[in-house]
Structures are given as C-alpha cells and as structure tokens.
Structure 1
Amino acid sequence: MEPYATRRDLLLTSLLAALPLNLAGAAASPLNPAQTIIKLPDALQWETQPTFPPGSADISPLTGDSTAPGLYYVLIRWRPGYMSAPHTYRTDRFCVVVSGTWWVNSGADFDPASCVPAPVGSFVHRVAGTPHYDGVIRSQNEPAVIAICGIGPVNFALVDPSKPPWRAV
C-alpha cells in the first residue's frame, strides 16, 4: 500500500467529510403554525355577499380587506350564468384562475358575447381606473374560482350606477 494519499483519496475524503453523519436519524424542525399558516380547502370560509344575486358568487377572504388600506387576497367563486356589470377600481388587481373558465372583457359597454375565456392558470391584470366586467357564461358546466390580490381600498365604482351591479347572462 502506498504511504501517500492519492488525489482521488483526498477528494473522496473531503466529500465524505461534508456529508451529515446520521442521515437516517436527522429530524427536520416541526412546522410552526405561527410562521407558516395553512388553510386547507375544506377550512376555507365562503361568504355570500349581500350585493350578489342569490346563487351567483361567493367570496373567501384569505387575508386583508379590499375596502381597507393594505394588501388583500381573496378567492371568488363565480357560478355559471352571472357576470358583473362594467365597473372600475382605484387600484390594480392581479387575478389567477384557479379552476373553471372565467370570462372577461374590458370597456364600458356590457356585451357578454364579446368576453374572452380565461382558462385555469390564466393571469389577468385589471389596470386601475379602467372599466371592465367578468363572470361565467351560462353554457359552462362548472363555477370558476379566481384568486384576486391587490392593494385596498379598491373603491369599486359602477360605470352606470342606474343599472344593477350583477347580471344574469
């Protein structure tokens, strides 16, 4: 046997020294629920808003409040056959379609036939101060769930306040 270490032996020794000694017995830190807050789907609280027609949509507030200053994050579940009337917000809104297909359009004229489908995984950026409307057309088989994030207060404003804020389509 050679009395001097070879280059390969030195590299192998360095590599082995860098490995943890007890891989099988090493335990990870437990999840701290004060630092990582998890809400499983069955624990989400869905609320019907008094301004929505019965059976049209529900909201699950995740954090914050869109009517108060600061960051908010909500889920909205639109059911087929309902859309919002053209409206604006004071601040940008960032939306991701979580399930179903959300139908969106921009402009002050309400024309559901001109809406564009935003399928699962779509990102929709609603630019502050621009009129738009959205919902789920009647021919869809399932609701659409959209995650919405922004900075409040949004100051929801209808383009034409003389007309209802929600429409059956």
Structure 2
Amino acid sequence: MSTASDRPDGSDRPEIVLVRGDITEQDADVIVNAANSSLLGGGGVDGAIHRKGGPAILDACRTLRAGHYGRGLPTGEAVATTAGNLAAQWVVHTVGPVHSAQEDRSEQLASCYRESLRVADALGAETVAFPAISTGIYGWPMDDGARIAVETVRASHPSSVREVRFVLYDAAAYAEFEAAL
C-alpha cells in the first residue's frame, strides 16, 4: 500500500504515509473531503466522496447548513459527518483556499490540515486519509501544496491520530509529496 513514510523517533506525531490511489477506496477512520463552502457536493474529490458515500453524507451536510453553518463552512475550518457507504467512520469536510498570486493564503491551507486533525482527534480517530487539498480546481501548485501539507502534519501533535495518509491520485502528485517528505 505505501512506499514512503515518515515516523519521527520518540514523537507523538502521526506517521505519514503516501498512497497512490482513490481516496474513496481508503479504509481509514476519517476520510478528509476537500469540500466547497456549501458542503453540498461538487466536483473533484468532493463529488467523488458524495457519490460513493451516498445520500447519508449529503443529508448530514444539509443538517449542518440548516444549523451552525447556514452561510457555509468558512475556508480553513473543518467539520465532521457520517461517512455513509465509505469504508470509514467519518468524513471531515474542510474548505481549502483558492490559490492567488497576489495574496498569500498559505496559512488558510495549513489551517485545513490542522483543523481536520483537530476534529479527527476529537472523534478519537487513529487513521486519517487526506487528499492534496486545493491542488485541483482551486489551482494551488502541487509542490507548494505538498510542502504545506507535510510541514503542517509534522508540526501537529494530535493525541489519537497515529497515521496520516496522503492519498494522491496520480504519479505527479505522489512524486511532489514524496519530495516534500
């Protein structure tokens, strides 16, 4: 399954594992969804998770929208729902920033990873599968997205999360995350 990993000796930080594949196929406690702010599904990873997870995820997202997230989920924040038909217990939805050449939004991207890990820890999750947030239609350069993702996870200290799995759809993305490790 994995060919690259990073485990800091004597640290409580999670092990980082790279996987090339489809995030909807991952057997993990948490699958992170690179959601749009509406939480109601979309394209890319978001659409794939909603399609494979089935209507339970959309129903849970509609409940969130009817309550605290009536205006949508803000960029950099994270919230959990059921995983529906996925081989996970929960989906943690986070909204990544759209890349901008004029404005540094790196902290917002880092926040997606930090907040997703915080939510996963609160759920008691031990394994978390992440996509490369914001590197698709939101235009974030893959090399910089990989650097931010890896640095943020390495700096995190969640108590329950033992493994962070970056699930990368193609060889180019995998290579960038491998270089970041």
TM-score (norm 1): 0.31
Structure holding more strand per residue: 1
Structure holding more helix per residue: 2
Bigger relative contact order, structure 1 or 2, given CA contacts below 8 A and separation 6+?
2
